[in-house]
Amino acid sequence: MSNSKPKTSWAKRLRTAALYIVLFSAVAFVVDAFRNSDVPESVPAGLASLTDINGEQYNLREMSKNGPVVLYFWATWCPICPAVSPTVDYIGNYYPTVSVALRSGDNEKLASYAQAKGYEFPIVNDSLNRVSNAWQVSATPTIIIIENGDIVSATTGVTTPPGLFIRLWFHQFFEITNF
Amino acid sequence: MNKIFPLWLMSLIAALLLYSAQALAETPSTGWLSHKDHPPVEVKLELTGHYKAERNLVPALLHVELEEGWKTYWRSPGEGGIPPTFDWSDSSNIREIEWHWPVPSRYSIQGIDTVGYQGSLTFPLMIKLSPDTRQGHISGSLTMSSCTTICVLTDYPIDLRINLDTLTVDSDRAFAFNQAMGKVPREHDRNDVKQAIWSDANQRIQLIIERDSGWQDPQLFVHSSDETLADATFSSPGIQVEGNTLTAYIEVSHWLKLPDLKGSELTATVGDDNFAAEYKVKLVSGTVSTLTESAPPLWIILLMALIGGLILNIMPCVLPVLGLKVQSLMLSGAQQPSVVRKQFFASSLGIISSFLVIALGLIVLRWSGGSVGWGIQFQNPYFIAALVALTWLFALNLMGAFEFKLPSSLNTSAATTGDNSYKGHFLQGMLATVLATPCTAPFLGTAVAFALAAESSVILLIFAALGVGMALPWLLIAVFPKSSKLLPKPGRWMQWVKPIFAIMMLATSVWLTTLLKNFISNEAFLVLTVGLSVLTLAIIGKVHGRKALFLSIGGFLILAAVVGAALLLTADRWVNKLPQDHQWQPLTQERIDAAVANGETVFVDVTADWCVTCQANKIGVLLQDPVFTALGQENVTRLRGDWTKANENITLYLKANNTFGVPFNKVYGPGAPDGIVLPVVLSKEKVINALEDAREQ
């Protein structure tokens, strides 16, 4: 008897927790969708392939065929970005990740900045806002999730590692597109 | 009637002429500009209509309207951010555009310190026309940065034509311009800057600025137009005001490598009540005193004490006691939560009360005119001997050597029956504290130095905070006694864990014994160690029989390794890899003065055998290259103050430097006659930098 009581309360707690998670996720998705109504629905034509500061090519359409790909817009002058970049760096261990640095100086400066901060994600130097304009991203930090060439999620502002993981799992397992 | 020009045509021409004259008299403005992707920010560039012919200047206003929550940045934006920029390279007949920055404010975004503006703001601009021209065209792109929890960089195309022939003054704008210029700092006499020092060792600037009418609540901002310092961050300054003198300390950092700021030209902008000044400053190399810095408020010190106390738990000194605690915790798995709670409260009380005892002891010592300091009880051989005995008994008890139960009451039956004998736990707490005292931890040094210079009640308060900090893990379990159930259940495997804790405790005992070496002869020391070892083995053999003896000899071999490690910490001659230490002269103030007068560099090392941090500094930094070689150079005088035993001269020296504990290191030289104080935990870079700074005249 004494054993069964805590069990039910645990199940209850779990259910409440699950409800909260679903609720939070729903709110997050709605807010995401609202905040980024401008972001295109799929990878902009002509910009599927990006070249990072080391000359490596990244084809976002190809890469996202095998699962979600993270595209991260940031800048060295953005005071919030240092709070988000480590999360993206960490996510890079589990999902293919490409970053775009908006008007943050030349390749050399970006390389030494990333090295000093310990960022390992590839960096595309967008010194003329060519990439960010095509993606209609004007605010940093912005994290976009691409799957099968489609943009499935876009978030601007501070993101936590669990928040980003939940988004990625969600899209990986349910393959919901065009959110 | 004039037939050629009928009246209606005449009046039409007149009206047109009048209208065009009005249209020609103009005060150009871009009107409010906004970007469709970023509505929260609007900008407007307009001329006042004035023209200063003697310098070809056309005053203009750049209005920026930021929605609530949005900020833009000053020319030195702080830890993040980017100032607005105006690229006017497509303009014609424009020689220069002078941008004037009103005094900014400081904002913290997610803990990042930035300098900028919010709300409505106006930058006054001075547009300089090319000589001998009546018309100019400003064309270009204004880039505004704006941040809330997101950051946006927005470009606004600017197109404004200036025609001096039609330019008319707009009195509202002229007034707004004067108002905006009033918020722009005026350049003040650089003679008001009494001191501008850069300390490379501390990566810190010290500015002393005087103002005849005194200071109220000054804010200070530093900017450098030097390209190499473009990415340098000037911290929010520590400001101290005494009458007409303002002293500011500014930490400088760079995400890559900060260049030496010696000789750098900076501007210091100071805003105060109805006062905005800009001072040009040239930095000279020197030492930055930390002593005159105003002490932080008491609650910060108490917080530091709390954190320092908590950190003490992971310093090596207390580990054996922690092991003891974990073990008793595992045994407590079968106990009533209320019993566990009381036990851990008892331990916490032991910790806190022994901190209070130490505080009381220090207060009494101070009253009686004695010298006070952190860990000075280790200067007393009787104290060490008592600790040796205590730790040894605890170790033996852990080995199960006693049939009678030591106060630690590790006996399960006694504890489960809850015989209210919590004395053992109280004692454990006290032992943990006394063992922790030779370890200084980060934050702890500052808190203790503050306490010992303060009045008695503050000493008690700070030491109580240290105690609570150290007892926090204990208190946590006392509050949530059920958490002890998360630990593995006691079982046969405990018999294997127990000897490990016993060995840790025994190693502590051995380390304490080595400290006695300083007070007794070598022979006595040998007799003591051999005697204790044999006694330990004999007791184990007697209590547990042959099998246990075999096990404990195995354990003893491990112990030997631990002892080896302990000796590694205390005597460098045991270590082959480390070089033989240099010859050091005993520390006296006269030696320092004589050597500095001689143009030599002096390195002072105040240390003690019982100070674990000192040993770490020695092995990790002082005996390692490049520091070892640098200290060995001919023009370097090495002075060592040994505080292992009480020494009045060394205590006085420490006190003169506003510190009450070891390690303490300081470098003197022609470049730093007052000396450069090194941090408690040394780093090779800091030592080398200080030696170089001290050497330079």
B288, B303 Cβ separation under 8 angstroms:
no
| Nearest residue to A76 via CA among B85, B250, B108, B153 | B153
CB contact under 8 A, A138 and B110: no
Peptide bond into B499 cis (omega under 30): no
Same domain? For B170 and B197 the reply is: no
pLDDT of B92-102, one tens digit each?
A: 999 999 999 99
Chain A contact residues (CB < 8 Å to B) = 38, 75, 77-83, 102-103, 112-113, 116-117, 136, 138-142, 156-158
Neighbours of A91 (CB within 10 A): 20
User: Which two structure tokens, joined as six digits, stand for B521?
Assistant: 């002869």
Number of domains in chain B: 4
Which pLDDT value is given to residue B602?
Answer: 92
Which pLDDT value is given to residue A114?
Answer: 92
The ipTM of this complex is 0.77
Domain definitions of chain A by residue range: 1-35, 38-174
- d(CA B2, CA B593) in angstroms, rounded, equals 108
CB contact under 8 A, A102 and B153: yes
Please indicate if any CB of chain A lies within 8 Å of the CB of B532: no
Which pLDDT value is given to residue B245?
Answer: 84
Tell me the count of A-B CB pairs closer than 8 A: 67
Residue B556 lies in a domain: no
Residue B500 lies in a domain: yes
pTM of the full structure: 0.53
What is the per-residue DSSP string for B108-167?
Answer: EETTEEEEEEESEEEEEEEEEEPTT-SEEEEEEEEEEEEESSSEEEEEEEEEEEEETTTB
List the single best residue of B38, B71, B114, B153 to mutate versus A (max A Cβ within 10 A).
Answer: B153
List the single best residue of A36, A78, A143 to mutate versus B (max B Cβ within 10 A).
Answer: A78
Same domain? For B107 and B209 the reply is: no
Distance from CA of A66 to the nearest CA of B (A): 31
Same domain? For B337 and B432 the reply is: yes
Which amino acid appears at position B442 of this protein? P
CATH number of A38-174: 3.40.30.10
Q: Which residue of B has its CA nearest to A104?
A: B82
**Bridge partner residues of B59 (DSSP):** B126
Same domain? For B200 and B179 the reply is: no
| Nearest residue to B125 via CA among B155, B86, B93 | B86
Which pLDDT value is given to residue B497?
Answer: 66
CB contact under 8 A, A75 and B152: no
Same domain? For B475 and B365 the reply is: yes
Judged against a pLDDT cut of 70, whether residue A64 lies above it is answered with yes
Q: Which residue of A has its CA nearest to B154?
A: A138
Q: Which residue of A has its CA nearest to B84?
A: A77
B479, B368 Cβ separation under 8 angstroms:
no
B77, B83 Cβ separation under 8 angstroms:
yes
| Nearest residue to B429 via CA among B400, B384, B467, B460 | B467
CB contact under 8 A, B150 and A79: no
A100-118: buried (b, 16+ CB within 10 Å) or exposed (e) per residue? bbbbbbeeebbeebbeebe
CATH of the domain at B153: 2.60.40.1250
Same domain? For B443 and B360 the reply is: yes
Show which of B484, B518, B552 is a domain's final residue.
B518
Same domain? For B217 and B75 the reply is: no
Q: Give the position of tokens 């300089």.
A: B128
Residue B332 lies in a domain: yes
**Across chain A, what does the average pLDDT equal?**
81
Q: Which domain holds residue B247?
A: 191-285
Same domain? For B195 and B254 the reply is: yes
Which pLDDT value is given to residue B407?
Answer: 44
The least confident of A100-114, A155-169, B98-112, B192-206 is: A155-169
Which pLDDT value is given to residue A5?
Answer: 47
Neighbours of B73 (CB within 10 A): 24
User: Which two structure tokens, joined as six digits, stand for A22?
Assistant: 């679903």
Residues in B 123-162 with any Cβ partner in A closer than 8 A: 145, 147, 149-154
B504, B323 Cβ separation under 8 angstroms:
yes
Same domain? For B78 and B200 the reply is: no
Judged against a pLDDT cut of 50, whether residue A169 lies above it is answered with yes
Residue B603 per-residue DSSP state? E
In this complex, the residue of B114, B149, B256 whose CB is nearest that of residue A112 is: B256
Which pLDDT value is given to residue B555?
Answer: 67
Mapped onto helix, strand or coil, the DSSP state of residue B491 is: coil
Residue B620 lies in a domain: yes
Which residues does chain B have with pLDDT short of 50? 1, 291-294, 403-420, 572-576
Question: What's the rounded mean pLDDT across residues A150-172?
Answer: 79
pLDDT of B313-340, one tens digit each?
A: 776 666 666 666 666 666 655 567 777 7
Same domain? For B104 and B200 the reply is: no
What is the per-residue DSSP string for B267-329?
Answer: EEEEEETTEEEEEEEE-EE-PPPSSSSPPPPHHHHHHHHHHHHHHHTTSGGGHHHHHHHHHHH
CB contact under 8 A, B150 and A83: no
Distance from CA of B66 to the nearest CA of A (A): 16
CB contact under 8 A, B154 and A140: no
Residue B112 with chain A: CB contacts under 8 Å: 79-80, 82-83
B321, B425 Cβ separation under 8 angstroms:
no
CB contact under 8 A, A78 and B38: no
Which pLDDT value is given to residue B417?
Answer: 36
Length of chain B: 697
Q: How far apart are the first and last CA of chain A?
A: 47
The least confident of A62-76, A126-140, B15-29, B336-350 is: B15-29
Please indicate if any CB of chain A lies within 8 Å of the CB of B367: no
Residue B315 lies in a domain: yes
List the single best residue of B106, B141, B150, B482 to mutate versus A (max A Cβ within 10 A).
Answer: B150
| Nearest residue to B296 via CA among B449, B456, B114, B112 | B449
CATH of the domain at B686: 3.40.30.10
CATH of the domain at B201: 2.60.40
Distance from CA of B152 to the nearest CA of A (A): 4
Q: Which residue of B has its CA nearest to A36?
A: B37
- d(CA B545, CA B574) in angstroms, rounded, equals 35
Q: How sure is the predictor about A20, in pLDDT bands with cuts at 50, 70 and 90?
A: confident
Q: How far apart are the first and last CA of chain B?
A: 98
